[in-house]
């Protein structure tokens, strides 16, 4: 496939395995990142200097490069840039998640409101506009409560409030990390934390792996919500796995994702699945490139590349087969 050219949005350390994989597949690789010294650029044939958080700059650079040599697909991994990827794919006339779906994936408030309107099981919550508004929410829902900026990435600006006296300060910190200056408050849901990752293929959410997530240090690192590892596969019954698959399918349909990657954070309590967040990209932590191929025997990153290029993807190549279990632990000095 050397005649095909893949644009990878982001060239940081966690994107490097995707660059290596694309080269192994015989692709020509173009990378984009605002950092001229980004490590992924060492594996790129061409380099575009543009922030992954700036769709317009990425589109301009991609169009200019496309005019010199056509780009065949756009993808990212471990990078909360679904809008940038979707905008570039749209501008280049390439396959990908729609811009509408990507915007829902990138904005926690829009996504939460959509899921609630569609009847999906999400935590009790709402947007809060001031410390007083947050205090009123806490008074009704009780503690602990999570506050999160509506348009930031991952756990940035996400805080777990366990004391009412901390609420005003944590509200201010969360809002300061939001470009649109908005904060979503949600009741903290107790239960098993789960990461789900896969591809949507012709409207069907095919989940490669449900991973257990480790949050044993919530109190140690409070008010931050920091995961310190996980295990693949998670320890779930067949019924629990089916309930999570159904939740993922409902989320994909609500967001309008017909084809593309899907990654979610879930909470499992008994047989009930609560959706925390869903995004339209491959996740971080080297899951798609390393852990999932071992534990589920699915080369998820390869399949995502094929899908981004418009190449055929077989459903059977997205169905997990038990492999050696994988355990991860993160250390914080």
Q: Maximum Cα–Cα distance for the chain, whole Å?
A: 61
Per-residue model confidence (pLDDT) at position 29: 98
| Separation of alpha carbons 32 and 295, rounded Å | 30
Distances (CA, A) of 230 to 92, 191, 306: 38, 15, 28
| Separation of alpha carbons 155 and 30, rounded Å | 29
Determine contact, residues 148/126, Cβ cutoff 8 Å: no
Helix residue spans in the chain (DSSP H): 16-24, 55-68, 82-92, 99-106, 108-117, 131-141, 167-176, 238-255, 292-295, 300-309
Q: Name the fold adopted by 124-187.
A: Dna Ligase; domain 1 (3.30.1490)
Determine contact, residues 8/76, Cβ cutoff 8 Å: yes
Token couple for 290: 């390393």
Helix 300-309 crosses helix 16-24 at what angle (to 10 degrees)?
Answer: 70
SS3 299: coil
Residue intervals in the chain for CATH 3.30.1490.20? 124-187
Per-residue model confidence (pLDDT) at position 188: 97
Per-residue model confidence (pLDDT) at position 1: 66
Residue intervals in the chain for CATH 3.40.50.20? 5-94
Please state the separation of Cα 94 from the chain's center in Å.
21
- Residue 255's contacts (CB-CB under 8 Å, 6 or more residues apart) are 101, 104, 105, 111, 114, 278, 280
Determine contact, residues 112/128, Cβ cutoff 8 Å: no
Question: Facing residues of 185 across strands?
Answer: 126, 147
Per-residue model confidence (pLDDT) at position 153: 78
User: Is the CATH number of domain 190-329 3.30.470.20?
Assistant: yes
The segments of the chain whose pLDDT lies below 50 read none
- Residue 175's contacts (CB-CB under 8 Å, 6 or more residues apart) are 149, 181, 182, 183
Give phi and psi for 238, each to the nearest 5: -60, -40
Dihedral sign computed on CA atoms, order 325, 237, 114, 125: negative
Token couple for 248: 């993922």
Determine contact, residues 301/77, Cβ cutoff 8 Å: yes
Residue intervals in the chain for CATH 3.30.470.20? 190-329
Q: Mind listing the pLDDT tens digit for each residue in 301-323?
A: 999 999 999 999 999 999 999 99
Token couple for 119: 């009847």
Q: Name the fold adopted by 5-94.
A: Rossmann fold (3.40.50)
| Separation of alpha carbons 194 and 273, rounded Å | 10
Per-residue model confidence (pLDDT) at position 68: 95
Q: Mind listing the pLDDT tens digit for each residue in 46-65?
A: 999 999 999 999 999 999 99
| Separation of alpha carbons 99 and 141, rounded Å | 34
Per-residue model confidence (pLDDT) at position 10: 99
- pTM of the predicted model as reported, rounded to 2 decimal places: 0.96
């Amino acid at each position: 496939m050397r005649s095909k050219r893949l644009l990878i949005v982001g060239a940081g350390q966690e994107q490097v395995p995707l660059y290596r994989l694309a080269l192994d597949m015989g692709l020509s690789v173009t990378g984009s990142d605002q950092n001229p010294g980004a490590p992924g650029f060492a594996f790129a044939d061409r380099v575009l200097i543009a922030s992954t958080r700036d769709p317009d700059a990425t589109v301009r650079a991609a169009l200019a490069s496309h005019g010199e040599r056509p780009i065949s697909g756009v993808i990212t991994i471990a990078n909360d840039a679904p809008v940038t990827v979707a905008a570039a794919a749209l501008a280049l006339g390439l396959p990908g998640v729609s811009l509408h779906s990507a915007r829902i994936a990138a904005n926690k408030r829009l996504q939460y409101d959509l899921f609630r309107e569609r009847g999906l099981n999400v935590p009790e919550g709402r947007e809060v506009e001031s410390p007083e508004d947050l205090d009123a929410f806490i008074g009704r829902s009780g503690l602990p409560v999570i506050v999160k900026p509506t348009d930031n990435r991952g756990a940035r600006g996400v805080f777990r409030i366990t004391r009412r006296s901390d609420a005003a300060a944590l509200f201010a910190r969360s809002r300061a990390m939001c470009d649109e200056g908005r904060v979503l408050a949600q009741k903290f849901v107790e239960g098993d934390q789960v990461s789900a990752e896969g591809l949507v293929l012709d409207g069907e959410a095919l989940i490669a792996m449900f991973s257990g997530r480790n949050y044993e240090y919530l109190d140690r690192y409070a008010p931050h919500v920091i995961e310190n590892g996980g295990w693949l596969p998670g320890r779930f019954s067949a019924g629990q796995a089916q309930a999570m698959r159904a939740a993922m399918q409902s989320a994909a349909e609500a967001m309008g994702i017909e084809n593309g990657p899907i990654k979610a954070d879930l909470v499992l309590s008994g047989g009930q699945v609560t959706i925390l967040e869903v995004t339209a990209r491959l996740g971080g932590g080297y899951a798609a490139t390393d852990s999932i191929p071992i534990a589920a025997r699915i080369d998820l990153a390869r399949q995502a590349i094929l899908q981004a290029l418009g190449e055929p993807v077989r459903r059977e190549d997205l169905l997990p087969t038990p492999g050696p279990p994988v355990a991860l632990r993160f250390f914080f000095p």
